[in-house]
Amino acid sequence: MPSLKSIRKRIASVKSTQKITRAMKMVAGARLNRAQQRITELRPYALKTREVLVEVTAEGRAALAGAGSSESAEVEEVGADEGVVALDLPDLRSVVPAHPLLEQTPERRVSLVVLTSDRGLCGSFNASICKLAEQEWKRRTAEGQKVSLIVAGRKGRDYFRRRNAPMEYVEGVWDDVSWAGARKLARTALEPFLRHDGRSDAVYFVYNEFKSAISQKVTCERLLPVDAPKKEERAASDDFEVVAEVKFEFEPDEGALLEQLVPMYVQVSVLRAMLESIASELGARMTAMDSATSNASDMIARLTLQYNRARQAAITKELMEIIGGSEALKG
């Protein structure tokens, strides 16, 4: 049986750990409120942007079926006061269906953008993302596709580095979760899609979609070429029940709108994925630290009981020795 001194040390150590986990839970909870507000405000805007882009693309394909291919676009730096990614786009008015960011081609080369965190202590947050990304990587490779990984977050970098995955690491993404940070990640994600030689046919984002503080959904979502939003996503972006399909009217035309809408869609989607990941990480960390604090309380209770039993046994042993000595003296 452990000595009383060692049990007291363990109790003190667990109490110190409990103070740390409780503090981390409170910090994560305070940051989660702000992160949840940001993603709640941005999510309907991002979904509606994609819905409008899908509608514009559909209109353009219907009106310009069979148009020729366009020149590829390149990502360039923008000024600090601009809100969206600046793309050196070709004239879209006559080639809307073949725009390089919207063109549908068979997926032979695929880029997976994996969003993990820089720090741990957030339960299965990072493990679930990495496992899904690894499954997608191996499944697509087995199907004959060439897969490249673009990883944001040190946990994902370490995970795929140990597995010798074809990986490009984007450093410092989580230092600035803003339009500027989204612009940096968007440039990296678009580069293989806009490359002349060996370009990617599709770009997918693998991240945790925030549902609540205790619930996150690991998602593999295609960023490019753009997909039509799902029915549940469209419902989430509307403040009222849609009773009929809306027919959009464009002014001046679809091409002029796409010149502004395509870069806006890319950066809004990237920022949304980043905010979803941040909120999910904080929710997972708050849940994990709450569980750790509760487990520490249970451990302290067990150690205290063990300490009391050991102390009682020591006292009983001393009393027996005293009684035995007294009886020996009487005899």
Is residue 61 within 8 Å of 71, Cβ to Cβ? no
Helix (H), strand (E), coil (C) string for 52-83: HHHHHHHHHHHHCCCCCCCCCCEEECCCCCCC
pLDDT exceeds cutoff 90 at 275 = yes
SS3 202: strand
Q: How confident is the model at residue 158 (pLDDT cuts 50, 70, 90)?
A: very high
**pLDDT 10s digits, 165-185:** 989 999 888 988 888 888 888
Task: Tell me how crowded residue 270 is: count the other CB atoms within 10 A of its CB.
Answer: 28
What gap in Å lies between CA 164 and CA 137, rounded to an integer? 12
Helix, strand, coil percentages for the chain (3-state, nearest 5): 55, 15, 30
Arithmetic mean of pLDDT, 14-28? 94
pLDDT of residue 47: 85
pLDDT exceeds cutoff 90 at 189 = no
pLDDT of residue 180: 85
pLDDT of residue 99: 55
Arithmetic mean of pLDDT, 90-98? 39
What percent of the chain clears pLDDT 70, i.e. is strictly above it? 76
List Cα–Cα distances, 174 to 165, 170, 288, in angstroms: 22, 10, 21
Task: Tell me how crowded residue 84 is: count the other CB atoms within 10 A of its CB.
Answer: 20
What percent of the chain clears pLDDT 90, i.e. is strictly above it? 39
Lowest mean pLDDT among 64-73, 206-215, 303-312: 64-73
Strand order across the beta sheet in which 109-115 lies: 167-170, 146-152, 109-115, 202-212, 215-224
For 290, residues 6+ apart whose C-beta sits below 8 A from its C-beta are: 25
Residue spans of the domains in the chain: they are 22-288
36 vs 262, which has greater pLDDT?
A: 36
**pLDDT 10s digits, 213-269:** 888 899 999 888 876 555 555 455 454 344 345 566 666 666 677 777 788 888 899
| Catalytic hit among 14, 101, 122, 147 | 122
What gap in Å lies between CA 170 and CA 185, rounded to an integer? 7
SS3 196: coil
pLDDT of residue 208: 93
- In terms of phi and psi (left: phi > 0; alpha: psi -120 to 50; beta: otherwise), the region of 258 is alpha
Lowest mean pLDDT among 11-25, 115-129, 139-153, 257-271: 257-271
Q: Give me the sign of the Cα torsion angle 119, 42, 171, 226.
A: positive
What gap in Å lies between CA 232 and CA 223, rounded to an integer? 18
What's the DSSP call for residue 174?
Answer: G
Arithmetic mean of pLDDT, 117-143? 93
pLDDT exceeds cutoff 50 at 72 = no
Q: Is 122 a catalytic residue?
A: yes
pLDDT of residue 196: 58
For 163, residues 6+ apart whose C-beta sits below 8 A from its C-beta are: 134
Q: How confident is the model at residue 78 (pLDDT cuts 50, 70, 90)?
A: very low
CA nearest neighbour of 274 among 147, 104, 118: 118
65 vs 256, which has greater pLDDT?
A: 256
What's the DSSP call for residue 201?
Answer: S
pLDDT of residue 191: 82
Output the average pLDDT for the chain: 79
pLDDT of residue 260: 75
Tokens of 297: 């309380």
pLDDT of residue 1: 66
pLDDT exceeds cutoff 50 at 38 = yes
Domain 22-288, CATH class in plain words: alpha beta
pLDDT of residue 300: 95
